[in-house]
Amino acid sequence: GAGVSQSPSNKVTEKGKDVELRCDPISGHTALYWYRQRLGQGLEFLIYFQGNSAPDKSGLPSDRFSAERTGESVSTLTIQRTQQEDSAVYLCASSLQGVTGGGNQPQHFGDGTRLSIL
């Protein structure tokens, strides 16, 4: 498809386990973003990639959260030793340009991964 693809769409896991969420951005989009949407709350910015580097990691809530991007395409968000407060929908977005191109490029969002920690 032509849109941003995220997998899995749903993930249920036990507290303390590690989880890995995947994002396939739109082909050719150099900028990639991860957001978190907790139930009843707005979206929180987590991390931004420009190419393979992450100029802005300011939103990662703790050192249990990490993300990487390889080949200027796929990105993975990893949460170690999950806690119940990590339960949320994790959204990935991509755009043609990020920091180098200004903030006026719209971001295209995937459908998200719904993460539930038991």
Beta carbon nearer to another protein, 76 or 105? 105
Structure tokens at 12: 């249920």
Residue 96 three-state SS: coil
Amino acid letter for position 49: F
Q: If we measure between CA atoms, which residue out of 57, 87, 93 comes closest to residue 75?
A: 93
Beta carbon nearer to another protein, 66 or 97? 97
Least separation, in Å, of the C-beta of 61 and another protein?
16
Beta carbon nearer to another protein, 62 or 100? 100
Least separation, in Å, of the C-beta of 69 and another protein?
14
Report the interface residues with another protein, using CB under 8 A. 4, 31, 33, 35, 41-43, 45, 48, 50, 56, 91, 93, 95, 97-99, 101-112
Question: Residue 13 belongs to what H/E stretch?
Answer: strand 10-13
Structure tokens at 19: 């989880």
